[in-house]
Each structure stands twice: as structure tokens, then as C-alpha cells.
Amino acid sequence: MNLKKDIKDAIHDLKGYLEYQRSLGVIDIPFSNEIAMTMEDIRKRIAGCQRCRLYTGRTNIVLGAGKEDADLLFVGEAPGRDEDIQGRPFVGKAGELLTRIIEAINLKREDVYITNIIKCRPPQNRNPEPDEIYACEPFLVEQIQVIKPKIICALGTFAARALLRTDKKISELRGRFYSYHNIKLMPTYHPAYLLRNPAEKRDVWKDIQAIAIEVPKV
């Protein structure tokens, strides 16, 4: 058990660093922790966002929707046309399928929270670019801090790769739980992919059943 020593060392290092900063004239550290956050705070902060190029083409920022303290969080890829117009996630064809997937485990959309890796629609629904994901990810991280879900379901390649910091294929990643900052994370196929490849629904059914077992009963 070197934990105690590690903590002692860390405090020692931090003390040295702070003393060094003070010697440079730094007398106050604005702790960003005082962002006693709510989803409303995140919504206010993301309003008018220009952190990436996607702001030029968007109609609405699609922050997310659902229960703000949900046990189960779904993370998709990016808003599409319908989502951009309505300002809500997963309201088009893929969204209808996602609703059925949620209902398959006896939950309703209102019982879960649904969001995306990026909050603005890419032109012609092209794939998100790495710098767009990088720019937008802090908002997702804050949402996860507010929601404190027990389970995250990453829908499709982009969500799974971004959250798990991997470039493996979704077909390799899906079907088991990973740990995302101590939250159980299950990658599965994206509903839009299922619309084109209905045979893969069986696998998603398996994944969602595994999730259902882990979601605390309300």
C-alpha cells in the first residue's frame, strides 16, 4: 500500500508548485470547481458557442434531453437535420429506433438522458472531425458530472471511440462493459446503422439486456 506515500508526495509537490507560483506573484487561484453545475449552467455556457466551425451551419445547439439525474445515459454521434431544426437529440428515424430500444427494457425516454458527442450538426451529416470532438467534449464531461449516471451506453463508432480513447472498431468494442471514470460503459451499434443493417439488431438487443441488468430499479 503506497497510497499514503503517493498522497503525501502529491501534496508535497503541490505545495512546492504553489510556493513557486507565489514567488512569481500569483496570490489567488480561481478554482473552476465553483461551477456548482446544473444542466442549466451548462446550457447557458454552451449558448452561442463558437469553439469549432460547426456553429456557422447550425440552427440549434442540441445539448441533450431527458432526466437530468438519470441512471442511464445514451451518447450518440451528432445532431442530424431533424435534431438541428428541433434542438432535441434523436428525434428523426434513428431516434424512433432508439426509443424502441429504450422501451425494450421497460424504460421510457423520460427515464434516461440522451445526448451526443458533439452538439452541433455537421454539414450533410458528415462524420465529426477530431478537432470538433475535442472542442465539444468538455460539455459532455460536465453533463456526465451533473447526471452522474450508473451506466453509459455509447451509440456507434464515434461515441465509443471518443469516450474510450481508442480507434478500435465498434464491432470489436461492443458487447461488454468498460470503465469510464468508474462508470460502466457499454458500446453498441448506432441506431442509424441498425436501420441499414437490421440483422445487427440481435447484438444490440443483447447489449441493452446486459445494460438493463445493471440499471438500478426505480
Residue placing its CB nearer to ligand URA in the complex, 66 or 80? 80
CB of 172 to ligand URA, least distance (A): 11
Strands lying side by side in the sheet with 178-180: 65-66, 113-116, 72-76, 151-155, 183-188, 178-180
CA–CA gap between residue 104 and residue 96 (Å, rounded): 12
CA–CA gap between residue 91 and residue 94 (Å, rounded): 7
Stretch that binds ligand URA, among 26-34, 37-45, 65-73, 187-195 (CB under 6 A): 187-195
Q: What is the full DSSP assignment across 35-73?
A: ----HHHHHHHHTT--SSGGGGG-S-----EE-TT-SEE
CB of 216 to ligand URA, least distance (A): 26
* Closest residue to bound ligand URA by CB: 76
When binding is defined by CB under 6 A, the residue of 157, 185, 186, 207 that contacts ligand URA is 157
CA–CA gap between residue 5 and residue 57 (Å, rounded): 52
When binding is defined by CB under 6 A, the residue of 67, 156, 186, 211 that contacts ligand URA is 156
Q: What is the full DSSP assignment across 9-33?
A: HHHHHHHHHHHHHHHTT------GG
When binding is defined by CB under 6 A, the residue of 107, 190, 207, 215 that contacts ligand URA is 190
Residue placing its CB nearer to ligand URA in the complex, 107 or 118? 118
CA–CA gap between residue 116 and residue 99 (Å, rounded): 15
Looking at residues 33 to 92 of the shown chain, list those that interact with ligand URA (rule: CB under 6 A).
76-80, 83, 89-90
Q: Does 149 bind ligand URA (CB under 6 A)?
A: no
Question: Which residues here bind ligand URA, judged by CB under 6 A?
Answer: 76-80, 83, 89-90, 94-95, 116, 156-157, 170, 189-190, 192-193
